[in-house]
Amino acid sequence: MLHVEMKQANHKMGFGHSSKGNQMKWMQDGYWYKADQFGYESLAEVVTSHLLRQSNITNAVVYEPVMIRYKDKDYRGCRSENFRQKDEVLVPLERLFRNHTTIGLAKQLARISNVKERIKYTEEVLGNITKIEDFGIYLTKILEMDTFFLNEDRHTNNISILYNKETDKYRLCPLYDMGLSLFADTKVDFPLEKDYFACKEKIVAKPFSRDFDEQLDVANELYGCHLKFDFSASRITDVVTELREKYFLTEEDVTNGRVDGYTEQELKRVEDTLRYQAAKYKYMFKF
């Protein structure tokens, strides 16, 4: 696993916000680095991004696992290339709506009781503000990803677009931030001793409904189905097998204080989750 020492000047305060708190994040040498905070977020990022590379989603950010050293402490984490172009800033939908309407998106969605109307409202207002076309399809791809990988962190600050300050134009952002997928939060909500079914019973979706399938079904009805993996459902766990061969930590490793990899419990949790999700959403696979 690659080891990188972070410079204090590159630490980004206020970035990496999730619904559970701020994740340590750095921008250094053209890469964004994120440290695990709640469990195996980096494993979730790596697995989801590598599986999406084997799908018809062409604009998903690719993550790789790294060891991060910061202020004489070592953190397991991941990194991805900076996708912002010159003069571009990342604008979360919550901030965009607050700047251009009288109320933030989350508060406005809470005032709308119907899931379909929440999604339509988001798509229509964003289109009016940014002139971006096909945002509904883009949003549907996000909800398809989040449903399949069980991403519990897609709040209104975690869907973004890119804005160029010089040209005064917006463009769709590459699909990113799947760290709280696959029951990665093992410290609080999904301890490793809990199985798939216990975790599934507890997990809550965002941002249009607390139920993943409800918001996905509505988005598919409005904008069609889009995510399709280029392999059979039976091969869904191949990526975990590859990671196990490279980054497996034995019980002895853990006892000796090694953290530059993933334990069998973590890998098995991800493997089981992918297998169950693939069985449920077989239509997302090519054959």
**pLDDT bucket at 102, cuts 50 / 70 / 90:** confident
* Residue 48 DSSP class: H
CA-wise closest residue to 80 among 8, 25, 117, 11:
25
Give percent of the chain with pLDDT exceeding 90.
92
Give φ, ψ of 285 to 5 degrees.
-105, 150
Q: Report whether pLDDT(16) > 50.
A: no
pTM above 0.85, yes or no: yes
CA-wise closest residue to 176 among 207, 134, 142:
142
**pLDDT bucket at 22, cuts 50 / 70 / 90:** confident
CB-CB neighbours of 69 under 10 Å: 13
Q: How many CA atoms lie within 13 A of 134 on its CB side?
A: 8
Q: Report whether pLDDT(64) > 60.
A: yes
Q: Break the chain into its structural domains and give their ranges.
A: 2-83+230-284, 88-223
pLDDT in tens, 247-282: 999 999 999 988 999 999 999 999 999 999 999 999
CA-wise closest residue to 163 among 245, 247, 80, 90:
90
**pLDDT bucket at 105, cuts 50 / 70 / 90:** very high
Contacts (Cβ under 8 Å, ≥6 apart) of 220: 140, 144
pLDDT in tens, 158-172: 999 999 999 999 999
Residue 49 φ/ψ region, left for φ over 0, alpha for ψ in the -120 to 50 degree band, beta for the rest: alpha
Give percent of the chain with pLDDT exceeding 70.
97
> Is the previous residue joined to 207 through a cis bond, with omega within 30 degrees of 0?
yes
**pLDDT bucket at 18, cuts 50 / 70 / 90:** low
